[in-house]
Amino acid sequence: MKLERLIQSIGPVSVRGKTGVEVKGISADSRQVKEGFLFVTLPGRHFNGADYICEAKDRGAVGLVVKNFSEVINHDLAQIKVESPREALGLLANEFFGHPDRELRILGITGTNGKTTVSVLARAILEAAGVSTGLLGTVSYRIRDRSLPSGLTTPAPPHLQFLLAEMKKADCSRVIMEVSSHALEQERVTGIEFRAALFTNLSREHLDYHRTLAAYQKAKLKLFENLHQSWSGDSEKVAILNHDHPLSASIKKLTKASILTYGRGEGADLRADRLRLTREGSFFRLLWRDASYPARISLPGEHNVQNALGAIALALNEGVSPEQSLSCLAEVRNVPGRLESVDAGQDFTVLIDYAHTPDALEKMLAAVKEIYRGRVILVFGCGGDRDRSKRPLMAAAAEERADEIVVTSDNPRSEDPEQIIADIMKGFSSGRNRVKTVVDRREAIAFALSRAAAGDVVIIAGKGHEQEQIFRDRVIPFDDRDVAREILEDGNAIFNNNFKLDKRQVAPG
């Protein structure tokens, strides 16, 4: 595509240099620039894209999108001056890949917790109903039968638009997209037309980036502010809201889209009552309009009933009946890394869960305590280079509901794992005698498993589906599910050099 045509989509402030050149790709990362690429210089907290203009030029960039013109390069190289390079990046990527959103129904899901579960369940329902559906989310990107590894929950605009274009080529008609607060704040979804947007819930998270809960909330609300606007001529847009969360009332006032609510409280459009939680799943009655339907999902916990309601509501908006949705959900056994069971023949339960916020940890533990009668042994940590203020709050949530706790490393990143653990420990009060600290995560998991007796539950929280552990100087393969299974199957996990995992040697307490 010619640069002169491409930049018509952004209405630049001013242009320098030659714009009759062919653009072969777009990138905001100078390291990924190739011959014929357009380089968009983004401002950042730690790096400024404008500092890498010469590197991009040397790699073959044919044009630059800048906040201010650079005087250090040949004036023949095109420079496109814009008010907001971030906004320009989204619009340029959409234009470059031919506006795939105009031929796809993009369904966005945002909130602190539950996005992945809702998205996986909703995609399963739509696929079972014969609706070809792509998925962009935390666990993976799905294009028909292809599963691609997920980097960011919501990818950067060039990659995002590439994936949407691939979904269009694969004849997907719907795309379910998890939309993170970072993506909304950084305008990664600028220019994409959402046909529906779903809100799950909101609690403290990502305050290392957003600084305040109010700023985090404001970022989430951006998905609903302009939801009613249309570039495709489709004026029917729907905001699907968790009736039981107080922020939904604010969203109703904010958005001009139609409203569909789900929840357990009176007044929800789609509602669940008569809830019964068991180890075999959750049973409830689904109420929709003047009809009621007996419902069962295999996923445990009241929070997963809420997630299922969100998925059913999203599917309803796409023309799938409650009966079809419930028939599908009865067959969904698990969502990767969300209370996912590891069974190696042991006489106690092992669950892997992604819970990494105080609210998510509290709800997950409450669900487990309601279903299981044995002791709950919890392994968790907190990620480095992330919101430090939540660390003692995680401890408080754990202390309230777990019988034994092992505090360990999550993804330390550039921080000292022992300091992270020390920050967590500040949140414990009278329950410190039930807490052990083990810096090495594998050893922590082995220790927790060694403490379990018949009927107990070991929960390994925080990383869920993740397959790596990130340190200051290295990234190692690490999947909680695989590690737990290896330890259980081996039966010889060494702890403190001379400890062997043998339940006959372990006394509770």
pLDDT at 165: 98
CA 443, chain centre distance (Å) = 27
Provide the token pair at 91: 């619009």
Q: Express each pLDDT in 231-277 by its tens digit.
A: 766 668 999 999 999 999 999 999 999 999 999 999 999 999 999 99
The size of the chain, in residues, is 509
DSSP readout, 313-332?
Answer: HHHHHTT--HHHHHHHHTT-
Candidates 273, 269, 270; CA nearest to 283 is: 273
Query: What would you report as the CA-atom Rg of the chain, rounded to the nearest whole angstrom?
Result: 24
pLDDT (tens digit per residue) in 369-412: 999 999 999 999 999 999 999 999 999 999 999 999 999 999 99
Specify the pTM: 0.91
pLDDT for 235 = 67
The DSSP-derived string for 50-63 is GGGHHHHHHTT-SE
Report all structural domains of the chain as residue ranges with CATH numbers, in order of start.
Answer: 3-86 (3.40.1390.10), 100-329 (3.40.1190.10), 340-505 (3.90.190.20)
**Greatest CA separation for the chain:** 77
How much is the pLDDT for 399?
A: 96
By three-state DSSP, how is residue 490 classified?
helix
**How far apart, in whole angstroms, are the C-alpha atoms of residue 351 and residue 259?**
36
> What is the DSSP-derived secondary structure letter of residue 414?
T
Which residues are CB-contacts of 181 (< 8 A; sequence separation ≥ 6)?
110, 205, 206, 209, 210, 216, 219, 220
Residues of the chain with pLDDT under 70: 204, 232-235, 492-509
Helix (H, G, I), strand (E, B) or coil at 101: helix
